[in-house]
């Protein structure tokens, strides 16, 4: 379950995929499938949240891992690699941003 809390020491990846609008839903479906079938079974996985822009040009994946090391291990995992390669075929470009939470404000 996603929890955004500046006191939690977790690794967060915000990955922005730039797509043609005709590929947006296919990428959303692929990322959801990859998360359910592969990513969620890997050590250190916490959560993934997939967002689609209303203009159809972007898909954003907000993923949490217990540590940067867990995330890096996923990158070379044989169950995850095919999904990542398939996603690359659907996107114009992508921007993986490695982050940590510094503040979380809600009302």
pLDDT in tens, 18-55: 999 999 999 999 999 999 999 999 999 999 999 999 99
Does a structural domain hold residue 48?
yes
| Order of strands, sheet of 45-52, starting from the edge strand that comes earlier in the sequence | 45-52, 58-65, 11-19, 91-99
Does a structural domain hold residue 100?
no
Does a structural domain hold residue 74?
yes
Does a structural domain hold residue 8?
no
Summarize the confidence of residues 90-105 as an average pLDDT: 94
Summarize the confidence of residues 71-97 as an average pLDDT: 96
Quick check: helix, strand or coil at residue 23? Answer: helix
CATH number at residue 88: 3.30.70.100
Give the strand pairing for 91-99 and 45-52.
unpaired
If one counts the domains in the chain, the total is 1
Q: What is the pTM of this model?
A: 0.92
Does a structural domain hold residue 11?
no
Residue range of the domain that includes 86: 22-93
């Amino acid at each position: 379950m996603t929890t955004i809390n500046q006191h939690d020491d977790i690794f967060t990846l915000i990955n922005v995929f730039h797509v043609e609008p005709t590929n947006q839903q296919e990428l959303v479906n692929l990322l959801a499938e990859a998360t359910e079938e592969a990513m969620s079974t890997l050590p250190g996985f916490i959560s993934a949240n997939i967002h689609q822009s209303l203009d159809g040009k972007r898909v954003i994946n907000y993923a949490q891992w217990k540590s940067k090391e867990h995330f890096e291990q996923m990158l070379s995992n044989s169950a995850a690699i095919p999904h990542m390669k398939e996603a690359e075929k659907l996107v114009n470009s992508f921007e993986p941003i490695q982050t940590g939470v510094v503040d979380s404000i809600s009302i």
